[in-house]
Amino acid sequence: MAALKEIVARTGLPETEARSYLTMAEDRVRLYLNYEEDEDLSRFSSALADYAVTLYDKRTAVQAAQTAWIANAGVESKQYQEGSVSVRETYAGASGSAGASVAASYDLQLQDTLHSLARYRRARVIKC
């Protein structure tokens, strides 16, 4: 599939990992478009690739933000010593939601990708 090749080219991921991101993108696009499992999504390969790459970018950016938060300021510790007794406390700092704002910006990109497909959505009519 063209989308898989594009994901591999844009992210540098191995094909098996890129395929898992493509599967997540296909599931989300199918749900958004109200398409059945067996319906072909090949005409949406560019949007699928964009969605999958954004999912990958979101995951790596959030992980990087969380790692940086922990390494730089996220973990605080205090040590007390009185005579021969010492106590050390380690705890999470005040900003416990590291990566949340990063994730929100990627969520908007994912939403924009889906909205670009809005004209292809199918309406389901349910008879009572």
pLDDT of 71:
61
pLDDT tens, residue by residue, 10-40:
999 999 999 999 999 999 999 999 999 999 9
Q: Which of 12, 48, 56 is nearest to 27 (CA)?
A: 48
User: Residue 87 — pLDDT band, cuts 50, 70, 90?
Assistant: confident
User: Residue 41 — pLDDT band, cuts 50, 70, 90?
Assistant: very high
* Whole-angstrom distance, CA of residue 75 vs CA of residue 72: 8
HSE-CB of 16 using CA atoms within 13 angstroms: 0
pLDDT at 110 exceeding the cut of 80 = yes
Look at 53 and 91; give whichever has higher pLDDT. 53
pLDDT at 62 exceeding the cut of 60 = yes
**Considering the entire predicted model, what is its pTM?**
0.75
Task: Output the average pLDDT for the chain.
Answer: 86
Residues 6+ apart with CB under 8 A from 118: none
* Whole-angstrom distance, CA of residue 12 vs CA of residue 17: 10
pLDDT of 67:
75
* Domain extent listing, the chain: 2-120
Look at 82 and 94; give whichever has higher pLDDT. 82
pLDDT of 51:
97
Number of other CB atoms surrounding residue 87 within 10 Å: 9
